[in-house]
Structure 1
Amino acid sequence: MPKERFALIIGAGVAGTSVAERLAARGWRISIIDEADRPGQGASGNRAGVFRPLPSLDDNRLARITRAGFLHGLRHLAQLAERGHPVRWEATGVLHLARDAKQETKMRAVVDAHRPPANYLRFVDREEAGKLADWPVELGGWWFPGGGWIQPPSLCASNLAAGGKQISTHFRQHLARLERVAGDWIALAADGTEIARAPVAILANGVGIRALPQAAPLPVRPARGQVSHLPATSGSAPRIVVCRLGYVSPEVDGIRCAGATFIADDDGSELREEEHRENLTKLDFILPGYAAAFDPATLGGRVGFRPASPDRLPMVGAVPAVDRAERTTPLADIPRHPGLYAVSGFGARGLVWASLMGELLACQLNDAPLPLEQDLVDAVDPARYLLKPPRPDRGGDE
């Protein structure tokens, strides 16, 4: 633990603000820097994002981390509300429909094998799924009663508000360089002006992390995602979140979110009609016939750039100071940049991971007991890619 409990956080999205809130709760002073004029305007800027876990029959690492993240996230949302900083979200439930009959059988097998509490997960057949969605569907799937949608900018704002005077914000600031001088990390603007400094620096700036030489060993890949905004009336179906190789949200302020596209290494920020068409095709796959009412040429939407990781797991921990290592090297023996940490690679799952990953890094920085088993801590260590070749990510929202 550094002698002075003062951290510089780059990025005020769900990753950065989650770490800031957890450190502030432990008495740390925080300076948080972001290019936007308010929190949650990058990949965290959508109107509504899906909040649910992702089980598997073998209870693999992704399943275990999303389960832990979901349950931790529920507690975090409740605690923020109790402290007077409620997040805009709704536990509508999330219906995750099977892609095909084979997957439907597997989804039933997961529930039969693990026997989760019914208020966490249960399998529903096609008839019950259709009733939940208030729309005819092709197959059954998983029903997460406690899941729902979260407005990411609201979560970011609540995290910062909960941190109170412990957190100072530096908005409309572009980080050009990060330098280590006399035990401090110094954030510099393009003209060399110092923005802020601290003994600890945390990189939570999404795809912007790729511009920093210190983060070169991290295989963060930008993934363009376009969400389509569908005009909707209050109380119209579906009133829950429905997923099936894509997702559709309930109505929020007259808009229903549907998406999202996933295009790697595309930095175009404009709305594209062809991607609206792709989202409407996904929507018809989720709820047959639902997309017929919408003209892709007239839809609004939003484009964001998600920091994706090759193995679909987040990157949380100390940043490696080397770009290669022997495959047999223990993670603990890989050299790290002193006082430099990353919280990245959230992809499309930032809402289910953010609060838990913020707690994990806060525990690491305070030498406190960790909220995850050691094998899962190792699974999200940013240095893991030095020991094995990254696997390609299939992308998408499922």
Structure 2
Amino acid sequence: AGAAIAHALAQRGAAPIVIGAGAKPADGASGNPLGLVTPRFDRGGGPVAALLLASFLYATRFYQRRAPQAILSQGVEMAPSGEDGAARWRDLLADPPLDSAHWRPGAEDGEGFAVEGLAIDPRAAIAALLGAVETRLGRPVAAIVRQADTYVCRDALGFEIASGDALVLAGGAGLAALARFAGLARDLRLELSRGQVSWARAPNEAGQSARSGGSYLGHTGQDWVFGASFARAATDHMPDLSEADHADNRQKLARLAPGIAAAIAERPLEGRASLRCASPDRLPIIDLAAPRFGICGALGARGLTFAPLAGEIIADLLDGAAPIVLADALARVSLQRFAAAPA
């Protein structure tokens, strides 16, 4: 999200500075070798459904225009998952949320969708978006102070890392800590979960599309990447790799794509573990906490899909421009929704 926000601001003529605790970009959840851009459908209609669909449609065009080198493949098969999965997909097929330019019925038993989603390399996407943006990496923020109309970020020794007339927090799993450093008293009610992806070196001989349904699968050109595991996390420390999670990912792959699971059953696995950050209602936070002070996070497992539109929204809000989405949709991703919700 931080890269998308910085890119949106740079496109408007601003000179953003991206601060990162890690020594390189994409050291958090965005550092996996592959991720999917897929829709999340809400059959309830209304502003939430519109926002979710707009995020997907905007993201696919965004990566095609702004980071085409990051696209690994186009088209994602979305398979039914869960006890009510088949019924839910049949309902969607009876009243498609996308026109025929963006979806077609799935190949397996006539259930599910094949959508014009993307498999992308998040690291390559972030590199493309930050190409002309100044970065200050390996500089963990320990304090954020406001001096007149300037926000100043300092390190643990009190030295200034960067300052500017606007501040946006987009720290992923570290968002709550950054909000405290900035003096935000409101509880963001963020939930952290551990996720591990696995990959094995094997060719994609049949030209299998990326696939999603309870888990996901895609090919980088060299490796099959699949997962991800899910477990609640008690801290925001980056987790270590787990053999148990590798085994869990193999089981999920066997349900999602049995043929590929069998083909790589004896191959050694590599992997990467990171943290997801989500809100209680599983919608992102995209809002201003104060004038010129933006917050963007809680993108959950759909950061690649939410981030491009979120970047435009934050840039609009900072500029005082009319947001790219309607007010009733913005209300669903605002900080104020937590004040009205029971704890």
- Scaled by the length of structure 1, the TM-score of the pair is 0.79
RMSD: 2.2
Superposed displacement of residue 382, structure 1: 2.1
- Aligned partners of 1:152 and 1:65: how far apart in 2? 22
1:123 paired residue number:
105
Stretches of structure 1 that go unaligned for 5 or more consecutive residues are 1-14, 129-139, 320-336, 391-398
Identity of aligned residues (%): 29
- Aligned partners of 1:223 and 1:296: how far apart in 2? 29
5 Å matches for 1:227-376? 227-233=197-203, 235-237=204-206, 239-250=208-219, 252-266=220-234, 267=237, 269-288=239-258, 290-294=260-264, 298-319=268-289, 337-376=290-329
2:113 paired residue number:
142
SS at match of 2:168: strand
- Aligned partners of 2:97 and 2:276: how far apart in 1? 33
1:179 paired residue number:
145
2:119–2:210 CA contact under 8 A, matched in 1? yes
2:292–2:318 CA contact under 8 A, matched in 1? no
Amino acid in structure 2 at the alignment position of 1:63: A
- Aligned partners of 2:94 and 2:231: how far apart in 1? 35
Amino acid in structure 2 at the alignment position of 1:229: W
1:201–1:340 CA contact under 8 A, matched in 2? yes
Superposed displacement of residue 264, structure 1: 1.7
Superposed displacement of residue 174, structure 1: 1.0
2:337 paired residue number:
384
Superposed displacement of residue 338, structure 1: 4.4
Superposed displacement of residue 384, structure 1: 1.4
- Scaled by the length of structure 2, the TM-score of the pair is 0.91
1:210 paired residue number:
176
Stretches of structure 2 that go unaligned for 5 or more consecutive residues are none
Change over 3 Å in CA distance of 1:178–1:297 after alignment to 2: farther
Superposed displacement of residue 230, structure 1: 1.8
2:20 paired residue number:
34
- Aligned partners of 2:56 and 2:283: how far apart in 1? 14
Superposed displacement of residue 91, structure 1: 4.2
SS at match of 1:70: helix
5 Å matches for 1:50-199? 50-59=36-45, 61-80=47-66, 86-99=68-81, 102-114=84-96, 116-127=98-109, 140-144=111-115, 146-161=116-131, 164=132, 167-199=133-165
2:191 paired residue number:
221
Amino acid in structure 2 at the alignment position of 1:112: A
1:273–1:296 CA contact under 8 A, matched in 2? no
Change over 3 Å in CA distance of 1:62–1:296 after alignment to 2: farther
1:133 paired residue number:
none
- Aligned partners of 2:267 and 2:91: how far apart in 1? 42
Change over 3 Å in CA distance of 1:363–1:339 after alignment to 2: closer
- Aligned partners of 1:194 and 1:246: how far apart in 2? 42
